[in-house]
Structure 1
Amino acid sequence: MKSTTLEEAIALTKKFTSKPSNEELLKLYGLYKQATEGDNEAERPGGFDFKAAAKYNSWLTYKGKSKAEATELYLELVDQLSEKYI
């Protein structure tokens, strides 16, 4: 099943029958944030909040990509993951 909108892709992730790897989840998070909010301008989280730091860094990976580019990459990633997890 190919997603054509961000909403369809998000709905598709909710149908996954098993959980993607942490690396895959971080990529999804980073692309989603870039697609919906643009560049990460937030302050870096504190040193011992490892989960927040990983999410922050994942989003930062996509800095400079347009929302449209990030959306396209997010859709592609969800389609790839849906083949593994649905």
Structure 2
Amino acid sequence: MASEAFKDAQTRVNNLPERPSNDDLLKLYAFFKQATEGDVNTERPGGFDFKGNAKWDAWDKIKGMSADDAESQYVLLVNQLEGN
């Protein structure tokens, strides 16, 4: 079950002062997916789906991370992006 801090960070991420870098967006995606679904559970997208491949690879990189750790990393990253 998602923590209150994680739920709050999901709301706050939509109101960041500026758009995160692509690297940070991939990290946010990976931490969110790991926290909510666990290890990557789909096939890697086809070769010309560059965005899909980048997202899949970012999620696959943190395979084995616990949901709690992924939630914590997500919250920390949102706080950093807000300047907190």
Fold conserved between structures, TM > 0.5: yes
| Residues 7-63 of structure 1: per-residue CA shift (max 9 Å, x gap) | 100111111132010001000000000011000021010000000000000111110
Structure 2 distance, partners of 1:16, 1:69, is: 22
Where do 4+ consecutive residues of structure 1 move more than 2 Å?
A: none
Paired-residue identity, %:
46
Gaps of 5+ in 1: none
Match of 1:76 in 2: 76
1:14-29 equivalent positions in 2, closer than 5 A:
14-29=14-29
Normalising to structure 2: TM-score of the pair? 0.90
Count of matched residue pairs: 81
What is the one-letter code of the residue matched to 1:61?
K
Match of 1:39 in 2: 39
Q: CA RMSD in A?
A: 1.3
What is the one-letter code of the residue matched to 1:50?
F
> Offset of 1:82 from its aligned partner?
0.9
